[in-house]
Amino acid sequence: MRKSQKGFVLIAMSVAMLLMLALVGMAFDFGRIYIARNEAQIFTDAAALVAAKKLDGSASGIDAARAAVMNLPNRWNLGSQYFEHVIIEFSADSKEWSTQPEHPELLAYTRITAPKNDVEITFLRAVGGPDTFTVPARSAAAVNPVRLVE
């Protein structure tokens, strides 16, 4: 009876090792996605705040807001990539957003979107996962964030 049980430990350890490596790979990929998402969110938060600070009710304020966003360090994915498509929008009431506003004197809000940030997937791809995972980020800020409601 003992001879028929030889090799079971090797098979059990092989299966356990395979499962453990799959979990470590999944943790690695999800960790990278989490870090990339946080980097994108930090960038859009900072960009929205700096853009809102530059709005002064004039067309030059809109240009200054755009320039301030473009002058921020816009690297992500552990500093290895630039944000490719940063969308800068403005609004007077935070309901309707426009990239080319017509009335700069009414603007009170900015919204920054980094929509297409693809993180390459390393380990999950081996088990049928996607090649990349998109981690978009969006932030909005007001020129005067503290308003008294009457």
- pTM: predicted TM-score of the whole model, two decimal places: 0.81
Residue 117 has what pLDDT?
85
On whether residue 99 sits in a domain, the answer given is yes
Answer whether residue 86 is part of any domain: yes
pLDDT tens, 13-28? 999 998 998 889 889 9
pLDDT tens-digit map of 43-64 = 999 999 999 999 998 999 999 9
The verdict on residue 132 lying in a domain is yes
In a domain, 59, yes or no: yes
Structural domains counted in the chain: 1
Task: Report yes or no on 150 lying in a domain.
Answer: no
Asked if residue 14 belongs to a domain, the reply is yes
Give a three-class secondary structure readout of 121-142: CCCHHHHCCCCEEECCEEEEEE
Q: What per-residue confidence (pLDDT) applies to 120?
A: 87
* Containing structural domain, residue 55: 3-142
In this structure, the strands spanning 75-76 and 81-82 are antiparallel
Give ∠ CA 28-79-89 in degrees, rounded to 5.
Answer: 105
Whether 147 is in a domain gets the answer: no
**Would you state the structure tokens that stand for residue 59, as one six-digit string?**
């067309």
Residue 125 lies in a domain: yes
| Segments of the chain with pLDDT less than 70 | 1-5, 147-150
